[in-house]
Amino acid sequence: MTVLVLGATGLLGRAVMKELKARGIRALGAARSGTDLAVDISNRMALFRLLCRVDCQTVINCAANINLAECEADPEMAYKVNGAPVGVLAAWSLQTDNRFIQISTDNYFEGSLPVQHDEQATVKLKNVYAASKFGAETMALKSPLSLVLRTNICGAEKGFGKWALDGLLNENPISLFNDYFTSTMHVGACAQAIVDLMLSKQTGLMNLASREVSSKAQFVHAMASELGITLDWAVTKSAAGMAPERALSCGLDVSRAEQALGRHLPDLKDTVRALIAEDARCVTLTNLKSAIAV
């Protein structure tokens, strides 16, 4: 089997490539630069040519622009990167009877409570990014061989995970949202589950995330506790009124994924421990057991 990973240089794309190769599955990475194949997925013809040239049985699309402000400022760019390429992938899947996995988002829901939304929950599109990703979901599901995964990930290399680790270890100023809820899972656990679901030939729409919902404030305080740090300098505030507007109740019900995988997905403690163990700065006497366990 050969798997083509789009967005192979991103946080999730790198983890998926690593997981595939660890299992002896031939993986080809595609991105604008820095990997096996160069492609700008916003150019639909270039993506089409790549799919015609590469003999693969599955495509995993990890490519996206997740910067809400950039998407809001340039809706055309957001559609070209997050939406339109999925139409090409769906057509490829239909024409070749090959599978593809579309990585989606959790930025979809109304309210400000730690609710676990299942796959049938009503979607509320609050910004251009969410609209572009939901459009991608709609196109992806036109193929009966597609799997759309709604998720929220963290890692020590970039994004929220790196920001939180840097803030805790360097005692940087930290502002924490107490009303922004997600089911964040570690990127490594997400990649492992993606490959498991690919091999089990799952299709349709599925939530893939932590089995526990937490606010951003709860998440960072859990990290501090695991590290033995007294987080007494953080400021707690509300995410309401942020620009661009975003969904604040992003918790996901992962029952379907757990049933398909035959195991529990990670909870908050598992995710925090995996994130801490990923950063070499954290392997100290205070958390050595956690690092070894992960």
DSSP string, 174-187: -EEESS-EE--EEH
Region 267-288: what's the mean pLDDT? 83
pLDDT (average), residues 156-162: 96
**Mean pLDDT computed over 18-43:** 97
Average pLDDT over residues 245-255: 97
pLDDT greater than 70 at residue 290: no
CB atoms within 10 A of CB 25: 16
- Say if residue 114's pLDDT is above 50: yes
What's the pLDDT band for 284 if we cut at 50, 70, 90?
low
Answer whether residue 269 shows pLDDT above 80: yes
CATH domain 2-293 topology: Rossmann fold (3.40.50)
- Please give the structure tokens belonging to residue 148: 């759309």
Predicted confidence (pLDDT) per residue in 212-247, tens digit: 999 999 999 999 999 999 999 999 999 998 999 999
| Domain boundary assignment for the chain | 2-293
pLDDT tier at 77, thresholds 50, 70, 90? very high
Residue with tokens 């559609």: 79
CB 209 within 8 A of CB 183: yes
